Structure 1
Amino acid sequence: MLFLRLFWQVPAVLLVFVILVFLVNECAVARPSRRVKDVPYVAASEPDFDAKRHVLDVYVPRRNAKELRPVVLFIHGGNWDSGSKNLYWFVGRRLAKQGVVAVVISYRLAPAIQVPGMADDCARALRWVQRHIAELRGDPARIFVMGHSAGGGLAALLATDQRLLDKWQLPRNVVKGAILDDPAGLDMFDYLKKMEYPGDDQYLVPFGQDSTVWRAVSPYFQVTAQCPPMLIYTGSRTYPSIASSTQKFHQRLRELGVKHEYKILPGKKHIGMVTQLFWQKNLIYRELLPFVGASSE
C-alpha cells in the first residue's frame, strides 16, 4: 500500500519540479527585458478600431545601448482564424534578451475579416513601429518582419507588396528584411484553384470567392527584384502545400536575384517550426541575429 502511495505521488512531484524549472528559466529570460503591453497601433477614433486585436506588445532589452537597436516585428499564425500575440511572448523575450527590440502583434481574424484586411492591419502595425519605435530605443531604419504559418505569409506580403505599403503611407524601403518560418499562403491563387486536399473549402472564408483577391494577397505574385533580403525556413515534415509553395517562392526569388537563404530543417513538423523558437540557441535565432545586425549582449 505504501508503494502505491509513493508511486502515485511521483507524477505530482515531477510536475511540480518541471513547473519550478520552467518558472526559474522564465525569470532568467524575462529579467534582461521589459514588456510594454497592449499598445494600440490603430487610433481609437478609427471606425474599424478593434480594442482586442489592434494591439501589440514591445519587448525591450533592459541593458542600455549607445545606439538604437534593430527591430523585429513578429506576426503570429493560426490558419487566419485564430491566434494572438499573447501566445508568442517567448519570441519577444528571446529576441530582447539577444539585443533586439521585438514587436509582437495581434490582428483581426476570419470570419470577421478577410486576408486583405489582415494585411492592412499588419501594415498599420508596421506604420506604428516606423513612427514610434525610436521612443523605445528601436531603430526605425532597421525594421525586419517575421512570421510563422499564416503570419509568415503576411510578413512576406509586407516585404513584397509595394502597393500595400503605399496604401498606408509607408516608405518604400521600410522593411529591411524578412524571416519566414514555415510560411503559409505564399501562393493561394494556385492553391485555391486546385483544391487538392480535403477541407480546402474552409479557406474560402478568409480568402473569399474572388480569384483576383487570391492572387493579390499571394506574395509569390508580388515579388520584384527590389525586394529586401530574406531568411526562409521550412520543416522537412511540414504540410505538402507549404513545402511546395515555399520551394516555388524560393525559385522566384532566385530568378529575380533577390538575396535570400532557404533551408529545410530535418525532422521538423509545422508546429515544431514555431515551438523551437522557445529555445534561444536554435538555428533560426542564430542566423537571425547577424541578419538583423544585433550586437551580442
Structure 2
Amino acid sequence: MSFQKLILRLAWSVLIGGSLLAGSTQAQQLPAARDTSFTVRSAYLKEKKNRPSISIAQPALPPTVQASYNLTYCTLGARNLQLDIFYPKAKRKKGYPAVLFIHGGGWRSGDRSNHLPMAQQLAAKGYVTVTAEYRLSTEALYPAAVYDLKAAIRWLRANAKHYPIDTTKIAVWGFSAGGHLAALVGTTNGDKQLEGSDCNTSHSSSLQAIVDVDGTLAFLHPESSDYQVSERPTASKYWFGASQTEKPELWQQAAGLNHVTSQTPPIVFINSSIDRMHAGREDMIQKLDAYHIYHETHTFPDTPHTFPLFNPWFEPTLNYTADFLDKVFKAKRWAAKLGLSLLGDSEDYTCKS
C-alpha cells in the first residue's frame, strides 16, 4: 500500500470514528461544531469566476408576510432543534398550505438560513413556509436527519391552530442534500422505520407534495457519483458512517427511488444541467408513471448546481415551485386542465387512463 493511500485510510478511520461518536445518544443531546465549508457566500465566490453576471438572491421580506424566528420544534436532551416560520398576514379560515424547506450542504454543512429568501417569497404567494435545521453528519449519522425533518412536519400539524396551516396540505422543498432528503421524507409516508420517536408523535408526518431541487434519488446507481466505490472519504460516507460495501442496506434504504409506491405524492424535479446531481430521476419517473402519479421536470440549461441561490435562476425556481404547488393544492381549478382525478377526499392525484 502506498503512503498516500495509507494516509487516506487513516484519515477516513479518524473521521468516521468521530462521526460514530457524534451519533451516540450523549452527543445527540448537544449542538455539534458547525462545518462551514458550504455557505451561500462561498458558493457565490466559487461560481462568480465562471459566471460574473450572477448575484446572490436576497429580496426583502414581503410586507404581506409575518415572520417568527428561532422556534424550537423538537428537544433532544439539551439539544433544541429550531426553525423559522413565515406566513401571510391575511387571515384565512381553512389556513394555508405549508412547505418545509430543507437546506443542502452534503448532509454535513449548510444552514437553514440559506433558503430564507425562497421561503419568504413563497409565503407571499399564499403559503406557510418553514426553514428547519436538522442534525448533520458532524453530530449524528443517518437516519437522524430524517427523524428530525419528520418531527418538523409533525410540529407543523401540532401548531396549526397557532399558525394558519391547512394540515391536509403540507409539502417539502429541498435543495441538493436537502432535495435528496425531501424526496426520501416524501416517499416514506407512514414508514415506521424512518419515523423517529421524539416530539409530537401523536401527529402525522405525511406529506402531500414534494419539490426536489437537484437532489439525488439514489446512491448505488450508475448515474450517481457514489456508484463506484473508492477509498476516498465522501459526504455520503460521512453521513452513513460506512462505505457502500460495508452497509449497502443503509445506502439503499436512503434512496427515495426505492420507496415509490401508489401512495407517493406528486413531485416536481427542478434541476441544473449537472446530471449526477439528480441521479435516478428517469428511473423514478418511470415508477411514478406506472402508478399514475403526477410529476413535472424543469431543467435549467448550462447552470451550476447552486443555481437556486442566485439570480437569474432564483425567480424562475420560485415560480416553478409555486405553480406546481398551486396545481397540487388547488385541485378544483387544475384537475380538469391536467387530466387528473382526485382520489376520494384526499389531495392525491391519479392520471385518467
Q: Distance in 1 between matches of 2:121 and 2:230?
A: 36
Aligned Cα RMSD in Å? 2.7
Q: Alpha carbons of 1:120 and 1:76: their partners in 2 closer, same or farther (altered >3 Å)?
A: same
Q: Distance in 1 between matches of 2:279 and 2:145?
A: 24
Sequence identity (%): 24
Q: Which moved more, 1:249-258 or 1:197-206?
A: 197-206
Q: Which moved more, 1:253-262 or 1:121-130?
A: 253-262
In structure 1, the partner of 2:250 is: 213
Aligned partner (choices 215, 235, 243) of residue 183 of structure 1: 215
Q: Quick check: 1:55–1:105 contact (8 Å CA) kept in 2?
A: yes
Aligned partner (choices 34, 52, 62) of residue 30 of structure 1: 62
In structure 2, the partner of 1:287 is: 324
Matches within 5 A, 1:79-98: 79-98=106-125
> What secondary structure is seen at the aligned counterpart in 2 of 1:60?
strand
TM-score of the aligned structures, taking structure 2 as reference length: 0.67
Q: Quick check: 2:146–2:195 contact (8 Å CA) kept in 1?
A: no
In structure 2, the partner of 1:69 is: 96
In structure 2, the partner of 1:118 is: 145
Q: Distance in 1 between matches of 2:68 and 2:202?
A: 23
Question: What letter is aligned with 1:100?
Answer: Y
Matches within 5 A, 1:40-51: 40-43=72-75, 46-47=76-77, 49-51=78-80
Q: Distance in 2 between matches of 1:139 and 1:206?
A: 33
Q: Distance in 1 between matches of 2:160 and 2:285?
A: 31
Structure 1: 5+ residue stretches without partners: 1-21
Question: What letter is aligned with 1:187?
Answer: A
In structure 2, the partner of 1:14 is: none
In structure 2, the partner of 1:132 is: 159
> What secondary structure is seen at the aligned counterpart in 2 of 1:147?
strand
How far did 1:66 drift?
3.4
Aligned partner (choices 272, 275, 284) of residue 249 of structure 1: 284
Deviations 1:218-271 (A, max 9, x none): 111111111111112212x22x32243222222222233322222323333211
Q: Alpha carbons of 1:202 and 1:283: their partners in 2 closer, same or farther (altered >3 Å)?
A: closer
How far did 1:88 drift?
1.6
Aligned partner (choices 270, 273, 289) of residue 233 of structure 1: 270
> What secondary structure is seen at the aligned counterpart in 2 of 1:74?
strand
Question: What letter is aligned with 1:134?
Answer: K
Q: Quick check: 2:157–2:203 contact (8 Å CA) kept in 1?
A: no
Q: Distance in 1 between matches of 2:305 and 2:150?
A: 25
In structure 1, the partner of 2:294 is: 259
Question: What letter is aligned with 1:211?
Answer: P
Aligned partner (choices 194, 205, 214) of residue 227 of structure 2: 194
Q: Quick check: 2:64–2:124 contact (8 Å CA) kept in 1?
A: yes
Matched, 1:163 2:198: no
Q: Alpha carbons of 1:171 and 1:224: their partners in 2 closer, same or farther (altered >3 Å)?
A: farther
TM-score of the aligned structures, taking structure 1 as reference length: 0.78
Question: What letter is aligned with 1:180?
Answer: D
> What secondary structure is seen at the aligned counterpart in 1 of 2:101?
strand
Question: What letter is aligned with 2:90?
Answer: R
How far did 1:171 drift?
6.3
How far did 1:31 drift?
1.4
Question: What letter is aligned with 1:207?
Answer: F
Deviations 1:154-191 (A, max 9, x none): 1111211132565454767831111111113x212334
Q: Distance in 2 between matches of 1:260 and 1:109?
A: 29
Q: Distance in 2 between matches of 1:78 and 1:127?
A: 24
How far did 1:118 drift?
0.7
> What secondary structure is seen at the aligned counterpart in 2 of 1:250?
helix
Structure 2: 5+ residue stretches without partners: 1-56, 332-353
How far did 1:108 drift?
1.0
> What secondary structure is seen at the aligned counterpart in 2 of 1:270?
coil
Q: Which moved more, 1:67-76 or 1:161-170?
A: 161-170
Deviations 1:62-89 (A, max 9, x none): 1223331111111111111111112221
> What secondary structure is seen at the aligned counterpart in 1 of 2:191?
helix
Matched, 1:204 2:233: no
Q: Alpha carbons of 1:261 and 1:228: their partners in 2 closer, same or farther (altered >3 Å)?
A: same
Structure having the higher helix fraction is: 1
How far did 1:42 drift?
0.8
Q: Quick check: 1:182–1:273 contact (8 Å CA) kept in 2?
A: no
